[in-house]
Amino acid sequence: MTTVIRQDDLIDSVADALQFISYYHPADFIRAVHGAYQREANPAAKDAMAQILINSRMCAMGHRPICQDTGIVTVFLRVGMQVQWAGDLSVTDMVNEGVRRAYGHPDNVLRASILDDPDGARKNTGDNTPAVIHYELVPGDTVEVHVAAKGGGSEAKSKFAMLNPSDSVVDWVLQVVPQMGAGWCPPGMLGIGIGGTAEKAMLLAKEALLDPIDIHDLAERGAANRAEQLRLELMQKVNALGIGAQGLGGLTTVLDVKVKDYPTHAANKAVALIPNCAATRHTHFTLTGAGPALQQPPRLEDWPEIVWEVGDSVRRVNLDTVTAEDVKTWQPGETLLLSGTMLTGRDAAHKKMVDLLAKGESLPVDLSGRFIYYVGPVDPVRDEVVGPAGPTTATRMDKFTRTMLEQTGLLGMIGKAERGQAAIEAIRDNASVYLMAVGGAAYLVAQAIKSARVVGFPELGMEAIYEFGVEDMPVTVAVSSDGESVHRTGPQTWQAKIEQGVVELQ
Ligand code: SF4
C-alpha cells in the first residue's frame, strides 16, 4: 500500500527535532555522564563533568542550546519504497527547509556555523544549511529519519586509515586517540567503522554514533561477534589512557565505543574513527503519513541535580586590574573566578589581526594587558545579553599566538582543550597564561557574562571581536606562565595511576 507524505510533515519534523536536540541531551547520555561523574577520582575531571551536567539541566529547563556550536546537521533517511511524496520540493530541499526553520527559530535562535566555498571565501550561508544527507531506499511504507547536529570540534578529530589486512584496529585506535587531544570535548563516544571502502568506513563510523549508549549491558551479556569484542576491548583500553574529561586526566574518556563493520576487499582494511563530544545531539522519528512526528519532551527528573561549588581557596581575579606579575603566581590546575572585562576572538578575527599587524596597520582594539576568549557565541534571545558562549578549540589559534603575545601585549588567553608545543613555548617566553573553560558547558558559562558589545570586525558575525563584562566566570589554569600544561601532566599522572592499580576503571 502506498503512503503519502506531505512535504510539510518532513519539514516540520526536522525543524522540531533540531530544536529538541539543541537543548535536550539524550537521556542515555546524561545517565552515562552522571555515572562517570560519580565514579571519577580526579577532582578536576569531576568538576568538568559537574559543569557539563549542570549546563545540561539548565538547557533542558531554559530551552537554550547545550553548546554555542550548534553543529552541522547530518540526516540519515530510510525511505520506504511504497512512499509517495506530496509537494514540489526535493527531499533534500525539504530537509534543508527544516534546518532553516530550526536555526532561525525566534524563541531559541541557533548559531549558523556553515560556510560556503570552504577553501575560498568561507562565507556563512546564514541559516546553517545545507545539511549533509544520506539516503537508503528500503522496503516498506514509512520514512525513518535520524537527525544529528555534530559539533565542529569533535568532527575535526575524525580519523581514517587504510590498514594492511594483518594490522590491528586496536593498536591503530590506541595510537590515534592520544593525538586527538581534548578538542573533541570528552567524555563522549567513539564511532568506529571497519571495512567496505574508504567512504563506507567513514559513513559506518558516523552512523555508529546514532546508537544508544549500552556498553555496560554489553559487558554483562558478553560479546557475540568481533565488533562487540572490539567495543569492550577498546572501551577498557581507551579509558586506561587516562585522558579523562576535557583531557584533564581521569577515569572516563569515553562513555561508549560503537563499532560497525561491513565486508571488504581482500587487500583492504579501511578503518574510520569519529568522536562525539559532550554535546552529543541526535534523535529520530518515523513518518507514517499521519502528519508530522514531533518529539516528546523528556522528564526533568532524568537530569541529576548536581551542586558544584568552588572551594574557599579559589582565586578571584579582576581582569581590569590584573598584572603580568599576578599571572606568574597562578599555578597549573588552579581554579580562577574571572570578573571584569575580556575581549573575544576566534579563527577569522585572529587571521585578520595578524594580517593587519603584518602590514603595520593598527588593530580595531587595544589588546595590551588584556585577556582574549576564544568564542563564537549564539545570538541572544529575550533578555539575554549573549546566547550560550562556551570556549572553542584553542589549538586552532596556536599559529597566531606568538605574534599576538609579542606584538599586541596580550596578557592571556581563554579557550578549551590543550595548546600545541609552539603555543606553549610562546606562552612561556612571554610569561603569559592560558586558561581553559569547560567545552560543552556553554549556557552555564554564558550566565557569567553580564554585558556584551561588538568592538571589532562586526562583519564577521559570531566571529566578531566582542568585549564581554563577566562576573565569576570559572576557568582552570591550563598552561602556566612557566609553560607547564595540565593537559600533559594530567593524563600522564592518571594513566600511571590506572596502570599501577592505584585507581580502578569500571
Ligand atoms: S561540546 Fe565541544 S566539540 Fe562539542 S560542539 Fe561543543 S565545543 Fe564543539
| Mean pLDDT confidence for 226-253 | 97
Centre of ligand 1 to C-alpha 187, Å, is 11
Residue matched to cell numbers 578549551 = 416
The model's confidence at residue 504, banded by pLDDT at 50, 70 and 90, is confident
Inter-residue contact 437 to 473 (CB < 8 Å)? yes
Give the pLDDT of residue 492: 96
Centre of ligand 1 to C-alpha 218, Å, is 27
Cell of 377: 557565541
Give the separation between CA 22 and CA 66, rounded to whole angstroms.
6
Tell me phi and psi for residue 462, to 5 degrees.
-65, -15
Convert the pLDDT of each residue in 466-477 to its tens digit. 999 999 999 999
pTM of the predicted protein model: 0.94
The Cα-based distances of 204 to 165, 191, 209, 286, 359 in angstroms read 18, 8, 9, 21, 47
Centre of ligand 1 to C-alpha 417, Å, is 11
Give the pLDDT of residue 45: 94
Residue % of the chain over a pLDDT of 70: 100
Give the pLDDT of residue 111: 95
* Pocket probe mutation, ligand 1, options 25, 51, 67, 396, max atoms within 8 Å of Cβ: 67
Give the pLDDT of residue 317: 97
Give the pLDDT of residue 1: 78
Q: Which is nearest to 132 in space by CA: 201, 64, 207?
A: 207
Q: Which is nearest to 113 in space by CA: 390, 377, 452, 455?
A: 377
Total Cβ atoms within 10 A of residue 337 = 16
Give the pLDDT of residue 307: 85
Question: Which helix (H) or strand (E) segment is 137 a member of?
Answer: strand 132-138
Give the pLDDT of residue 204: 98
- Strand 269-276 relative to strand 159-163, pairing: antiparallel
Residue matched to cell numbers 527547509 = 97
Convert the pLDDT of each residue in 306-315 to its tens digit. 988 777 778 9
266: amino acid identity, one letter: A
Give strand pairing partners of 32.
none
Residue matched to cell numbers 588567553 = 413
Give the pLDDT of residue 313: 74
Residue % of the chain over a pLDDT of 90: 95
Give the separation between CA 201 and CA 260, rounded to whole angstroms.
8
| Mean pLDDT confidence for 281-296 | 98
Inter-residue contact 335 to 310 (CB < 8 Å)? yes
Centre of ligand 1 to C-alpha 410, Å, is 26
Residue 195: strand, helix, or coil: strand
User: CA torsion angle for 231, 237, 241, 247 (degrees, to 10)?
Assistant: 10
Residue 384: strand, helix, or coil: coil
For residue 432, is pLDDT > 90?
Answer: yes
Give the pLDDT of residue 309: 78
Residue 461: strand, helix, or coil: helix
- Kindly write down the DSSP assignment for every residue of 12-49, as one continuous string: HHHHHHHHHHHH---HHHHHHHHHHHHH---HHHHHHH
Convert the pLDDT of each residue in 5-28 to its tens digit. 999 999 999 999 999 999 999 999
Inter-residue contact 103 to 128 (CB < 8 Å)? yes
Max Cα-Cα span within the chain: 77
Give the separation between CA 147 and CA 282, rounded to whole angstroms.
6
| Mean pLDDT confidence for 123-143 | 97
* Pocket probe mutation, ligand 1, options 64, 111, 185, max atoms within 8 Å of Cβ: 185
Whole-number average pLDDT of the chain = 96
Inter-residue contact 414 to 437 (CB < 8 Å)? yes
Give the pLDDT of residue 367: 97
The ligand 1 atom nearest the CA atom of 392: 7
Centre of ligand 1 to C-alpha 69, Å, is 6
Centre of ligand 1 to C-alpha 444, Å, is 14
Give the separation between CA 28 and CA 24, rounded to whole angstroms.
11
For residue 237, is pLDDT > 80?
Answer: yes
- Kindly write down the DSSP assignment for every residue of 144-179, as one continuous string: EEEEEEE-HHHHTT-EEEEE-TTS-HHHHHHHHHHH
The domains of the chain, with CATH numbers, are 1-25+66-149 (no CATH), 151-288 (3.30.1330), 315-490 (3.20.130.10)
318: amino acid identity, one letter: N
Give the pLDDT of residue 232: 98
Ligand 1 atom 1 nearest Cα: 440
The model's confidence at residue 440, banded by pLDDT at 50, 70 and 90, is confident
Ligand 1 atom 5 nearest Cα: 151
Ligand 1 atom 3 nearest Cα: 153
Question: Which helix (H) or strand (E) segment is 191 a member of?
Answer: strand 188-195
Centre of ligand 1 to C-alpha 86, Å, is 37
| Mean pLDDT confidence for 159-175 | 98
The ligand 1 atom nearest the CA atom of 278: 1
Centre of ligand 1 to C-alpha 440, Å, is 5
Give the pLDDT of residue 266: 98
* Pocket probe mutation, ligand 1, options 25, 154, 396, max atoms within 8 Å of Cβ: 154
- Give me Rg for the CA atoms of the chain: 23
The model's confidence at residue 505, banded by pLDDT at 50, 70 and 90, is confident
Convert the pLDDT of each residue in 80-120 to its tens digit. 999 999 999 999 999 999 999 999 999 999 999 999 999 99
